[in-house]
Amino acid sequence: QVQLVESGGGLVKPGGSLRLSCAVSVSDYSMSWIRQAPGKGLEWLASISSSGMTIYYADSVKGRFTISRDNTKRSLYLQMSDLRAEDTALYYCARDRTVTHYGRYFDYWGLGTLVTVS
């Protein structure tokens, strides 16, 4: 059974940085970070291939967020910098089912970790 467990969320001041982690039970899939602002919908942020060699970002976080993974530790990361109030959200890691180089849906999700920028 695939298990994803996020950690690292918390309260951070505007302009600050935070690194999120996701423990992944299997490492042979592309993975993504997706967020959900309070009371709002879902927003895809970034994806990384199983090898870590191919990375994609949403325009809203490009240049501020960095996705990475360490397959030896079965971990996925999201380094967030220059955080803004609008980055306040529940951050999920999810396993990709990749259809095209940009097209993917998500078959397993973690429970999320809350980031509050204030």
* Contacting residues toward another protein, per CB under 8 A: 32, 41-44, 56, 58, 92, 97, 99-100, 102-112
Instruction: Specify the 3-state DSSP secondary structure of 86.
Output: helix
State the nearest-atom distance from the C-beta of 84 to another protein, in Å.
20
Nearer to another protein, 62 or 74 (CB): 62
Nearer to another protein, 16 or 105 (CB): 105
Nearer to another protein, 17 or 60 (CB): 60
- What residues have CB less than 8 Å from 110, skipping those under 6 apart? 4, 5, 6, 22, 92, 93, 94
State the nearest-atom distance from the C-beta of 48 to another protein, in Å.
14
Specify the length of the chain in residues: 118
Instruction: Specify the 3-state DSSP secondary structure of 85.
Output: helix
First to last CA, the chain: 37
State the nearest-atom distance from the C-beta of 82 to another protein, in Å.
22
